[in-house]
């Protein structure tokens, strides 16, 4: 299309002309979109397709006609009249915008929703079947619940779903549900606690784990990771490897992670140590004294005699420390620590 020339029009006149001419040109790629459900919830909106090179014949005809009428020249004398003619052409082009009818009938919406529900039900059934396979291999069939103030150390079978060729990295893609290994009172996420969780399950004894601390943005937190191994035949193919059509996952690794409150399937050998004091702990009996050290903002437990080994293990597991000289066990004061200490004294 021929270009306009400036025949002496001023800057303000040129700006007004350019604005009007651009608006007329945009009508080439502007259409009306009808959406929604017919007779129920219909909507109408104007849409502009950015990057579309479509040219409407009626808009092209208007542009060429206006240009020829004024010899493609904008002057100080005709500028206002040219803009007026363009605005009239824009109004006419808006009336003739193409309509894209994307409305659906109520029957079509009902059928689509039913199909979505069917897909969702099939997905849930598939997920339940997969979960049953993992529970059969690694679980006990029971469920463990961690309540507020507790945390659960979980074992989860993961795999490396990274694809270096496309710079896609996902080393911690999950394969199994998160199985409860050990439930303890909320405390520091340490390597010793994670390795203690590994020790409760006969399935994980002898497996080599390495400790990782990734406390940064997008990091994976504190966790133990085992070496890779070939997963059982019945679990192969449950997931697809990223970027490889048809390739199912055959290699996996265990990760021991710290999770908060929630409900988890129990791993073989799972133990819950946060809900009560071990039975042997009552050996201290009436000789247990609980005091608050306000000067140090702490809580102290004293025993009349030497506490049982299980008692010592429980104290250490819940974050208590033995003072120098062995005169008492202490911890920073908190409602959780008070509850534990009072339960211990009452046992």
193-250 pLDDT per residue, tens: 999 999 999 999 889 999 999 999 989 999 999 999 999 999 998 888 776 666 789 9
What region does 312 belong to: left with phi over 0, alpha with psi -120 to 50, or beta? alpha
Query: In the β-sheet with 298-303, what is the strand arrangement from edge to edge?
Result: 288-293, 298-303, 329-332, 321-322
d(CA 318, CA 331): 9
**Three-class secondary structure of residue 157 per DSSP:** strand
Nearest to 208 by CA among 223, 198, 200: 198
**145 within 8 A of 253, measured Cβ to Cβ:** no
- 128: Cβ contacts below 8 Å, ≥ 6 apart: none
- The CA-to-CA distance between both ends of the chain, in Å, stands at 94
List helix spans (H) across 200-323. 309-317
Question: DSSP string of 255-273?
Answer: EEEEE-SEEEEEEEEEEE-
d(CA 278, CA 316): 13
- 228: Cβ contacts below 8 Å, ≥ 6 apart: 160, 251, 252, 253
- Per-residue pLDDT, 345: 78
Residue 40 burial class via C-beta count within 10 angstroms: exposed 0-12, middle 13-18, buried 19 and up: exposed
d(CA 272, CA 270): 7
Per-residue pLDDT in tens (0 to 9) along the chain, 347 residues? 899 999 999 999 999 999 999 999 999 999 999 999 999 999 999 999 988 888 999 999 999 999 999 999 999 999 999 999 999 999 999 999 999 999 999 999 999 999 999 999 999 999 999 999 999 999 999 999 988 878 999 999 999 998 887 888 899 999 999 999 999 888 889 999 999 999 999 999 889 999 999 999 989 999 999 999 999 999 998 888 776 666 789 999 999 999 998 999 999 999 988 643 333 333 344 578 888 887 788 899 988 888 888 888 889 888 999 988 777 899 998 888 888 888 887 76
- Per-residue pLDDT, 164: 80
**264 within 8 A of 150, measured Cβ to Cβ:** no
pTM > 0.85: yes or no: no
Six token digits for residue 46: 């104007």
C-alpha distances in angstroms, 326 versus 92, 246, 329? 94, 63, 8
- Kindly state the helix (H) or strand (E) to which residue 102 belongs, with its residue range: none
């Amino acid at each position: 299309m021929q270009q306009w020339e400036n025949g002496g029009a001023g800057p303000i006149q040129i700006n007004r002309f350019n604005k009007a001419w651009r608006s007329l040109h945009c009508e080439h790629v502007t259409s009306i979109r009808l959406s929604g459900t017919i007779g129920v919830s219909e909507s109408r909106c104007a849409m502009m397709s950015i990057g579309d090179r479509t040219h409407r014949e009626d808009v092209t005809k208007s542009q060429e006609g206006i240009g020829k009428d004024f010899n493609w020249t904008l002057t100080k004398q005709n500028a206002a009249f040219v803009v007026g003619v363009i605005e009239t052409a824009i109004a006419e082009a808006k009336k003739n915008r193409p309509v894209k009818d994307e409305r659906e009938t109520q029957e079509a919406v009902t059928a689509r929703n039913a199909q979505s529900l069917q897909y969702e039900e099939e997905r849930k059934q598939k997920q339940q079947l997969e979960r049953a396979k993992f529970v059969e291999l690694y679980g006990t069939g029971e469920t463990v619940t961690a309540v507020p103030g507790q945390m659960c150390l979980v074992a989860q079978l993961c795999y490396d779903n990274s694809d270096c060729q496309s710079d896609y990295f996902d080393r911690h893609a999950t394969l199994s549900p998160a199985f409860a290994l050990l439930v303890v009172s909320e405390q520091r996420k340490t390597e010793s606690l994670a390795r203690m969780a590994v020790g409760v399950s006969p399935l994980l004894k002898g497996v080599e784990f390495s400790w990782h601390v990734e406390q940064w943005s997008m990091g994976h937190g504190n966790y133990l990771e085992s070496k890779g191994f070939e997963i059982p035949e019945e679990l192969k193919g449950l997931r697809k490897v990223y970027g490889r059509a048809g390739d199912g996952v055959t290699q996996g690794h265990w990760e021991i992670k710290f999770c908060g409150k929630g409900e988890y399937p129990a791993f073989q050998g799972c133990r819950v140590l946060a809900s009560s004091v071990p039975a042997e702990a009552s050996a201290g009996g009436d000789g247990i004294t609980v005091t608050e050290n306000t000067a140090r903002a702490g809580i102290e437990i004293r025993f009349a005699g030497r506490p049982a080994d299980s008692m010592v293990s429980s104290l250490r597991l819940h974050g208590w420390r033995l003072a120098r000289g062995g005169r008492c066990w202490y911890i920073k004061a908190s409602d959780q620590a008070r509850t534990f200490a009072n339960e211990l004294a009452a046992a």
